[in-house]
Structure 1
Amino acid sequence: MYQVMLVDDDVMVLNFLEKLVPWNELGFELAGAYTNAHDAIRKCGEMIPDLIITDIGMPVLDGLSFIKQLQAGAAKTRFVILSCHDEFHFAQQAVQLGVQDYILKESLSLDSMKDILERVRDKIDDDRHLKLHVDRLNYQANRSREALKEKWLRNLLSSPVLEDTTLYEQLQEYGLDITLGHFIPVCCRIHRFEDAIVRYNSEDMVKFIVENTVEELLREEQNVLFFSYSAQEFFLLSACRKELISNPYDKMVQISNHLQKAFTKYLKIEVSVLIGEMTSGGEGIKRQLPKLLTSADDFFYSSGPVIVKSFEIPPKVHQEDIFIHYSEYSERLNHLLIEENGDIESVIKSFFEFIESRRFQPSNVKQFVWKLALDLQLKLKFSIYFDKEKVQHDIAQMLNVSELRAWLLKFMNEAVIHAEQISKKSKKSEIIDAQKYVQLNLHRKITLEEVADRLHLNLSYFSRLYKKETGENFIEHVTRMKMEKAKVLLLHPDHTVEKVALMLGYDNKSYFVKLFKQHFGLSPSQYM
């Protein structure tokens, strides 16, 4: 619906237009009717209508002056003039102001108004379609430009240093004033990346939102370029002069603060920033970029998002091998699955207090936690869904020890609950072995016959045993496990419904879709 406003000091004309014109049928919604142009202007300060139908001969402020005043405020409203004057100079001025139509009140009728409104509506439709097309072209152009900048950055990181002349030409093409002579590279990383993915559903969406937000925030900044690198991190490159009058680092700190606050306020995303050293050539830029990329260690033990200058980095992390403590903490977590009413939170808290007190190498800490989780599943045979490659990927992306702590606490709570459920359902090793076999073979077709044969059990006996001990038949369990994994696989941006079906051993896509809908009440495409 398009918004329309009526302005006329003739109350009878207003009543006629308000009550007799079928606005909704014609695609319009009446936003207001005013006998005074000043009242209409005040209303336009709150909302800009798509169309204003106004009289020319009004006291205090006539219709043409009213139109000029609104247009001076950059309003994109269209106008139709009602007039008692059949004079050329009125029509001429109306044309000069871009008025859509000019109609004499003596010839005003319902049919004439319908005709005018249909023409105006079609014109608004055409203009909006054109704007959408132009916006789409601009968006594609901007995306192409960002893709070229990202490619340029990756080439710079992976290739020998270009001659300064060539590198400067490229930077100048992207809008940087290379005559300033010096550059400051900056690396920005999302502080709690998993939280951002949960909020925006995928890494691709996070990357898209971050790119658009940073570009918008830097629109008014001179000589600061944005380079996307991944969903989790991006670079800024500032061109500056080396002088005593103003400190270029102060400017980058100010910009970093602005980005941090805007991201937190509008996106609910926290960003940590590492400001590199000032350099005067391409070799210096190339040397610093990979160094900044490995800066996760500098953020890992921070209590929140930070802004750090590379020459102010705190002391290096502890060099002791964390794995000499592996058996101790592995045993503590194992006991949580065996003991009833174990204090999970206390054990996890103690573990991470130890980690933070020693400030171990972050990559080793992540590997340590991943191995703990993996061994819990393999040693104790509890049938919790555990995609080790995904978990390893997720843990590797965690930039802060608090993310790792939250992840392990959640994992252990789920593991203990699931282990208790299995214990209550069955103590029979055959059931546990069957469920483990299912978990390891979700990628292929699993039959009752092959599992019974693997367990050296009679087919009918195994079928009855499984139903008795778990409350569901074996094939129902297999299907349920496959559908649960399908939910995870479908979240991957490169996975189509057909690909996920094949990954779970279903040759028939339609059958997979049917099963998924039966389990979750919506199709895989709707879920995606």
Structure 2
Amino acid sequence: MYKALIVDDDVAVLTFLSKMIRWEDYGYQLIGACTNALDALELSKDHMPDLIITDIGMPGMDGIEFIKTVKQTDEHPRFVILSCHDDFKFAQQAVQLGVQEYILKETLHIEIVQELLERVHHRLEEDNRLQKKVEKLHFQALQSKSVWKEHWLRDFLTTPLPEEIKWREQLAEYGLDLSLTHFVPVVCRMYRFQDAITRYQNEDMVKFIICNALDELLQSEPDVLAFSYSAESFCLLFACRKGLKSNPDEWVEQVCKQLQRTLSKVLKVQVSFLVGEIEQHHAAIKHQLLGLLQAADPFFYSATPEILRSSQIRPLNNPEDLLPFYSEYTEQVNHLIIEGNRDVHPVVDSFIQFVTVRRVQPITVKHFLFKLMLDIQMKLTFSHQYNYEKIQGHLEEMDNISQLKEWMIRFLEGAITLMDQISTKSKKAEIVDAQKYVLLHLDQKITLGEVAERLFLNASYFSRLFKKETGENFIEYVNRMKMERAKELLNESNRTIEDISQALGYDNKGYFVKLFKSHYGVPPSRVH
């Protein structure tokens, strides 16, 4: 629906046009009826109309001056002039301004206005169709240019090198000065890439928007070229001279900072930059670009977007597998969920700090969290609520530790809520409390009488109630939980069988081994 505005110092005319015409029937929304041009200009600042019907002979700013002023701001509105004067001079000025409709007030009737609105609506529709066609052609042209440049970059990185002179001539076709002898390669990496996907819907749109934004922002920097490599990574090539009096480092950093600020402010997209070393020969530049493109992981632990030189990259370490710590974090998470403790931040913060200080490889951290999620879901019997492949894919896409932290918080809070719902719906409160007690005290001896007493129930009654609600005896349940925990400890640590039996409240190692073999069909020594 198009926006329309009426401007006339004659209140009777305003009332007639506002009340007697059903604007919506003709595809318009009447956004205002002003008695002077200044009020109309103020209204147009925030809501530029598509159609403006204005009087000519108004006090202060007349209709002709009003139209000129609007056109200085926006060329697209269509104008209809109202006048009490059949004056050729006014009509001539109106035609010069592109006004196509000129109506005398004495001929103003509903039928005439309705016909006029239909004619203008048709022209607006034609304007829109033409504008969309132009925008589509412009989009295709820009897209073709971006694709062409991306193909050139990929050919340069993946095929045998052309002769140096030919390579420089190719760069000259993109606008670089052939007299500039040295180059600084830079990789622009999206920071929290999934945030950009959420904002712009898909990877193709992100790549197109960023690539064209870089081209536009670098128009004032003729010695810099931007190439898309993927939706997440872009390459910049700074052409310069190397000498005692010229140091390109400050220039490169200044340009990167400006790009960083503008992309964040205008597109709400954050980027980091990885700056290479100055080189003269294309073989060295190719080698650097390949290395910079593969060096995404150093940004994983960045709290904010950064600009780093390749010499500043801190290597990621994996001095120790996370597996020895798996049991510790599993136990912490289990206690949170079982107790219904919604303050998950201490556990999450502890884990994030643990991997950040050690700068563990991101893929190792993600696999650790995925395994943790699977084990929790299987143990708490609500795995049917989740799509494993989707969650695994989502984890792998995360490019920053802050995203993993947010994901852990959401997952644990959701697991606690879901566990509460399952507990309240599936069993009597006494059974839920008994099961929680067992899970929280697997390191102790647990007897039926002790738990019944805690619940203020007769031991015999509690035993029958537990069997009825769960389908297994209470002691069977205790042993099953302990054996499942024993298997976890055997798989995830180097502790001895004797240590594990004592950690689960068994004084007699032989009895523990017998229970384990009865439960799994093999002795604990065969698990490793």
TM-score normalised over the length of structure 2 = 0.66
SS at match of 1:301: coil
Question: What do the CA deviations read for 1:459-509 (whole angstroms, capped 9, x no partner)?
Answer: xxxxxxxxx979xxxxxxxxxxxxxxxxxxxxxxxxxxxxxxxxxxxxxxx
CA spacing shift, 1:286–1:60, aligned 2, 3 Å: same
Q: For 1:86-165, what aligned pairs fall within 5 Å after superposition?
A: 86-165=86-165
Partner of 2:453: none
Cα separation, 2, equivalents of 1:401 and 1:140: 37
CA spacing shift, 1:368–1:53, aligned 2, 3 Å: closer
Cα separation, 2, equivalents of 1:420 and 1:23: 56
SS at match of 1:71: helix
RMSD: 4.1
CA drift of 1:416 comes to: 8.2
- Contact (CA 8 Å) 2:363, 2:396: kept in 1 or not? no
Cα separation, 1, equivalents of 2:32 and 2:309: 57
CA drift of 1:158 comes to: 1.2
Q: For 1:280-319, what aligned pairs fall within 5 Å after superposition?
A: 280-314=280-314, 316-318=315-317
Cα separation, 1, equivalents of 2:417 and 2:20: 68
Q: For 1:393-408, what aligned pairs fall within 5 Å after superposition?
A: 393-404=393-404, 407=407
Question: What do the CA deviations read for 1:180-204 (whole angstroms, capped 9, x no partner)?
Answer: 4433222122333445556666555
- Contact (CA 8 Å) 2:10, 2:35: kept in 1 or not? yes
Cα separation, 2, equivalents of 1:331 and 1:398: 24
TM-score normalised over the length of structure 1 = 0.66
CA spacing shift, 1:132–1:219, aligned 2, 3 Å: farther
The amino acid of 1:23's aligned partner reads W
Q: For 1:371-386, what aligned pairs fall within 5 Å after superposition?
A: 372-373=371-372, 376=375, 384=383
The amino acid of 2:79's aligned partner reads F
CA drift of 1:161 comes to: 1.9
The amino acid of 2:101's aligned partner reads D
CA drift of 1:137 comes to: 1.7
CA drift of 1:253 comes to: 2.4
Q: For 1:120-519, what aligned pairs fall within 5 Å after superposition?
A: 120-197=120-197, 203-204=203-204, 206-207=206-207, 210-211=210-211, 213-215=213-215, 217-218=217-218, 221-242=221-242, 247-265=247-265, 269-314=269-314, 316-318=315-317, 320=319, 322-323=320-321, 326=323, 328-335=324-331, 341=339, 350=350, 352-360=352-360, 362=361, 365-366=364-365, 369=368, 372-373=371-372, 376=375, 384=383, 393-404=393-404, 407=407
Q: Which runs of 5+ in 2 are unaligned?
A: 428-468, 472-528
- Contact (CA 8 Å) 2:330, 2:372: kept in 1 or not? no
SS at match of 2:81: strand
Question: What do the CA deviations read for 1:65-92 (whole angstroms, capped 9, x no partner)?
Answer: 4433433444332222233443544433
SS at match of 1:298: helix
CA drift of 1:121 comes to: 1.6
CA drift of 1:131 comes to: 0.4
CA drift of 1:233 comes to: 2.3
SS at match of 1:54: strand
Question: What do the CA deviations read for 1:211-245 (whole angstroms, capped 9, x no partner)?
Answer: 45545554655443332222332223333444666
Question: What do the CA deviations read for 1:23-77 (whole angstroms, capped 9, x no partner)?
Answer: 3322233333444444444444444322223333445544334433433444332
SS at match of 1:252: helix
The amino acid of 2:364's aligned partner reads V
- Contact (CA 8 Å) 1:382, 1:418: kept in 2 or not? no
Cα separation, 1, equivalents of 2:110 and 2:340: 80
Q: Which runs of 5+ in 1 are unaligned?
A: 427-467, 471-528
Q: What count of residue pairs does the alignment treat as equivalent? A: 424
- Contact (CA 8 Å) 1:162, 1:282: kept in 2 or not? no
The amino acid of 1:159's aligned partner reads T
* Structure 2 residue 67 is matched with structure 1 residue 67: yes
- Contact (CA 8 Å) 1:34, 1:40: kept in 2 or not? yes
**Percent of aligned positions that are identical:** 43
The amino acid of 2:289's aligned partner reads L
Cα separation, 2, equivalents of 1:382 and 1:116: 69
